[in-house]
Structure 1
Amino acid sequence: MSLAQQWADARPKVAGLHFDSGACSRQSLAVIDAVAAHARHEAEVGGYVAAEAAAPVLEAGRAAIAALTGLDATDVVFTSGSNHSLDLLLGSWVGERTLACLPGEFGPNLAVMAANGFQVRALPVDGDGRIVVDEVARQFASGPPALVHFTALASHRGVAQPLAEMVAVCRAAGVPIVVDGAQAFGHLDCSIGADAIYSSSRKWLAGPRGVGFLAVRPELVARLQRRVPPVEWDVPVTVLQSFEHGEHNAAIRIGYSVALGEHLAAGPELVRARLAEVGRTARQVLADVPGWCVVEGVDEPTAITTLEPTDEADPVAVRAWLIAERGIVTTACELARAPFEMTKPLLRISPHVDTTAEDLEQFAEVLRDVP
């Protein structure tokens, strides 16, 4: 049985066409059942007892994240999602607050950087928004920032960044690199040993909403300062332990751990190859749809395809019409998504491994009929 069929069979039947995995993928029945089973166990024995019983599942989840990031399981903490992870990390940084990132940085990430008092400068990119690694190395030789924040795959453009090469440049310059893996994790190869990496559960890993992870190398942890409890309190709580301090939803962390296990069982390399195939097919099928221009090159190794309107089409209105009239879920990328790079709204599709060529051809036909 093909990977696409296995993935589809593991889930409830989709209502229409789901091309929105970059926002929120469809969970498997096993993930749904694991979340429900833990909630039931909490009702039977109490939340804290149930959480203790689930500790091995969560440790397996941390080990899976470690395997997919090139870090250790002891470097991994669960969070409520990507923005939460970035806020925890930047809020604990005690050094100079200068940071370099891509011009197309995700708007909410920029807001977190500003809220934590970071001065941001743009990294050099080419016309496709891809980092120019050699130029970065030259810039860092004369004046490196305190931190690099690197979004390996943007949410408004399906361009895969040269992640391993960028990590190598930062390591040579002695600049810690924090990787936003929200779109890349489970989609591209993230096992590159970054100083820190974070992501959400709900996107390409197809776990529950409201959970994510942050993984930080010990060398970078040593440069952070605990915020809660206050550092002057003499209590045996490490920085990473403090990141998991407080209330959380244990059930969805368990669901995420199950989704991570499913991803490893499917074969991360096979998943990446299939996603690249889906993206290539999507760009070929959509290339000639009147009124829209495919932004990415056809062989970009991602499943994210963005469409720029060439007439007066409004992606927000088109998205709403597609859902209401045809049961097709896409994303409208507005300017706030990448405020320093985008010049007009885009329509994005982000299909997963179960999407067929027939599904994409159906979408192309419907897109031709949008009023």
Structure 2
Amino acid sequence: MTDTLAERWRAARPKPAGVHLDSGACSRQGFAAIDAAAQHARHEAEVGGYVALEAAAPVLDAGRAAVAALTGLAATDVVYTTGANHALNLLLNSWAGERSVACLPGEYGPNLALMALNGFRVSPLPVDEHGRLRVDAAADALRRDRPGLVHLTPLGSHRGLAQPLGPLAEICRDLGLPLVVDAAQALGHLDCAVAPAAIYSSSRKWLAGPRGVGVLAVRPDLIEALRPRFPPSEPAAPLTVLQQLAHGESNAAAHVGFSVAIGEHLAAGQAAVRARLAEVGRQTRTAMADVAGWRVVEPVDEPTAITTLEPTGGADPHRVRAWLIAERGIVTTACDARRAPTELTVPVLRLSPHVDVTPGDLELAAAALADAAAG
């Protein structure tokens, strides 16, 4: 059958040189995104970068509209960044309110570093034994001790656990608390259309855009709480807050490629992609369940395509990852404690295939992991 989502996705991009199980790090771009970025770069050479940028405005506006469709915000709320970390730093650095934030204990390590760098006091949200947010307890905690903002990563880098984004968004709306969402792993993977106060993401993961691109969307009411430090907005040439956040040199060709990639995602159907990724996660965990030397961390029916494997026989995930690439052409990710310094206690191996993975791919990966453990 050539009309399935998996087949269409596979046909739309170059053939992989091996088995790619690493979309949580960087998905494979499609021909359309690659060609669009290259054509824009060529146009820059023909007419000049700024003239080409003006000509690309409709494509970039379409990209902002696509981000709006995925987040529940407006296209006019969206600016391009160089990535998720850049977006979060822009937001925290511009924050004019109380510098305190409530987030999960298993928060992404670089996010915690940016919070500390920008002088934010961090308090943990209550979670269960698996690290999933306890919604009712979180509501009580936020009511008792109101932070300056609430930050949620709905899908972490180190574990394929889906957090209850929708219920937390409702709590924050009821309490009048700004919710900031790190959707680097969630955008294009889970339902993020909850209209949070701010949401940011990268291009290169599940949306399969170029590296070095991200987005930040900020609701107008939160804009009032931001004071960007650079560039200054002079009376003679006033800049809006969003214009200040977006100001500076940027890779317009990559922005164009991302706009095309996110458009392709919407054309494929958000619900269909999410359903297929959940199916991919079940298939991956089932295929890895009996591999000697490894334990699947997530419940088999967790609705994500991220599967993490914890070594049970002393294997080093970093060495195994390198061996899988060198000897079997299989790409995965090794995650250590830096990704979640207060939750991840031992390094794990992460498998994150996209919608085009086949049972044969997973069988090869399971056999290779068994060989690695035996060796």
Q: TM-score range by the shorter chain?
A: over 0.9
Structure 2 residue aligned with 1:272: 274
In the alignment, is the contact (CA less than 8 A) between 2:296 and 2:309 conserved in 1? yes
Higher mean alpha-carbon deviation, 220-229 vs 301-310, is at 220-229
1:178 to 2:175 alignment: no
Deviation at 1:233, TM superposition (A): 6.0
CA spacing shift, 1:53–1:18, aligned 2, 3 Å: same
SS in 1 for 2:334: strand
Query: In structure 2, what is the Cα distance between the partners aligned to 1:234 and 1:106?
Result: 41
Deviation at 1:116, TM superposition (A): 0.5
Structure 2 residue aligned with 1:208: 210
Matching residue within 46, 49, 63 for 1:47: 49
Query: In structure 1, what is the Cα distance between the partners aligned to 2:19 and 2:130?
Result: 29
Letter in 2 for 1:21: S
Matching residue within 142, 145, 148 for 1:146: 148
Structure 2 residue aligned with 1:58: 60
Structure 1 residue aligned with 2:19: 17
Uncovered stretches (5+) of structure 1, i.e. residues with no partner: none
Q: Deviations over 1:2-56 (max 9, x none)?
A: 0000000001000110000000000001111111101110010100000000000
1:81 to 2:80 alignment: no
Deviation at 1:232, TM superposition (A): 7.1
Deviation at 1:195, TM superposition (A): 0.8
What pairs up with 1:51-200 in 2 under 5 angstroms? 51-200=53-202
Structure 2 residue aligned with 1:326: 328
In the alignment, is the contact (CA less than 8 A) between 1:304 and 1:351 conserved in 2? yes
Deviation at 1:243, TM superposition (A): 1.1
Deviation at 1:250, TM superposition (A): 0.4
Letter in 2 for 1:160: A
SS in 2 for 1:230: coil
Deviation at 1:230, TM superposition (A): 2.9
Structure 1 residue aligned with 2:315: 313
Q: Deviations over 1:159-212 (max 9, x none)?
A: 000100010111111110000000000000011111110000000000000001
Query: In structure 2, what is the Cα distance between the partners aligned to 1:162 and 1:229?
Result: 37
Higher mean alpha-carbon deviation, 358-367 vs 306-315, is at 358-367
1:244 to 2:246 alignment: yes
SS in 1 for 2:363: helix
In the alignment, is the contact (CA less than 8 A) between 1:225 and 1:231 conserved in 2? no
Q: Sequence identity of aligned pairs in percent? A: 67
Structure 2 residue aligned with 1:286: 288
Deviation at 1:227, TM superposition (A): 1.5
Letter in 2 for 1:53: A
Deviation at 1:265, TM superposition (A): 0.6
Matching residue within 18, 27, 30 for 1:28: 30
Query: In structure 1, what is the Cα distance between the partners aligned to 2:228 and 2:236?
Result: 11
In the alignment, is the contact (CA less than 8 A) between 2:233 and 2:239 conserved in 1? no
Query: In structure 2, what is the Cα distance between the partners aligned to 1:234 and 1:136?
Result: 46
Q: Deviations over 1:318-345 (max 9, x none)?
A: 0000000000000000111111111100
Count of aligned pairs: 371
Letter in 2 for 1:305: T
Structure 1 residue aligned with 2:262: 260
Q: Deviations over 1:282-322 (max 9, x none)?
A: 11111111110000000000000000001110000000000
Letter in 2 for 1:75: D
Deviation at 1:231, TM superposition (A): 5.6
In the alignment, is the contact (CA less than 8 A) between 2:201 and 2:216 conserved in 1? yes
Query: In structure 2, what is the Cα distance between the partners aligned to 1:13 and 1:139?
Result: 50
In the alignment, is the contact (CA less than 8 A) between 1:294 and 1:308 conserved in 2? yes
Deviation at 1:229, TM superposition (A): 2.2
In the alignment, is the contact (CA less than 8 A) between 1:21 and 1:204 conserved in 2? yes
Higher mean alpha-carbon deviation, 220-229 vs 203-212, is at 220-229
Letter in 2 for 1:70: G
Letter in 2 for 1:76: V
Uncovered stretches (5+) of structure 2, i.e. residues with no partner: none
SS in 2 for 1:190: coil
Query: In structure 2, what is the Cα distance between the partners aligned to 1:14 and 1:140?
Result: 47
SS in 2 for 1:179: strand
Query: In structure 1, what is the Cα distance between the partners aligned to 2:333 and 2:236?
Result: 48
Q: Deviations over 1:38-81 (max 9, x none)?
A: 11100101000000000000000000000110000000000000
Query: In structure 2, what is the Cα distance between the partners aligned to 1:234 and 1:160?
Result: 48
Matching residue within 341, 349, 359 for 2:351: 349
Matching residue within 335, 340, 343 for 2:342: 340
Query: In structure 1, what is the Cα distance between the partners aligned to 2:240 and 2:250?
Result: 18
Deviation at 1:234, TM superposition (A): 6.0
1:298 to 2:273 alignment: no
1:366 to 2:361 alignment: no
In the alignment, is the contact (CA less than 8 A) between 1:226 and 1:238 conserved in 2? no
